[in-house]
Amino acid sequence: MIDLVFIAVIALQFLDLYTTAFALRTGRGVEGNPVIAWMMKRMGTIPSLILSKGAVIALAVFIWHEGSIFVMAALGVAYAIIMANNVRVILRSRSR
């Protein structure tokens, strides 16, 4: 079971990277995480997103290795909420 949740967390990282980059590039959204926004000002959008996604993926690999389904599930739920918000922001600005 943890393998499926792990794969979902990894997939959510790629989807988050794509939707965030799309929202920023099209002017439909802004980065809501102040740490990532700070990184973007210094490193650029894509490098910052890749670095932050890499960090989350590394964390997910550690959690998977430890076998903690509850922590992995919490990480998955958190990123599912983030993805839902990204899609909401993109679609809301699209209809205006």
How far is C-alpha 3 from the chain's CA centre? 19
Tokens 């599930």 belong to: 73
What total number of domains does the chain contain?
1
As a whole number of angstroms, the distance between CA 30 and CA 21 comes to 10
Task: Flag whether pLDDT at 96 surpasses 70.
Answer: no
Question: Mind listing the pLDDT tens digit for each residue in 13-71?
Answer: 999 999 999 999 999 999 999 999 999 999 999 999 999 999 999 999 999 999 999 99
pTM of this prediction? 0.88
Q: Residue 29 belongs to what domain range?
A: 2-94
Whether the pLDDT of residue 4 is over 90: the answer is yes
Interacting residues of 9 by C-beta distance below 8 A, sequence separation 6+: 56, 60, 72, 75, 76, 79
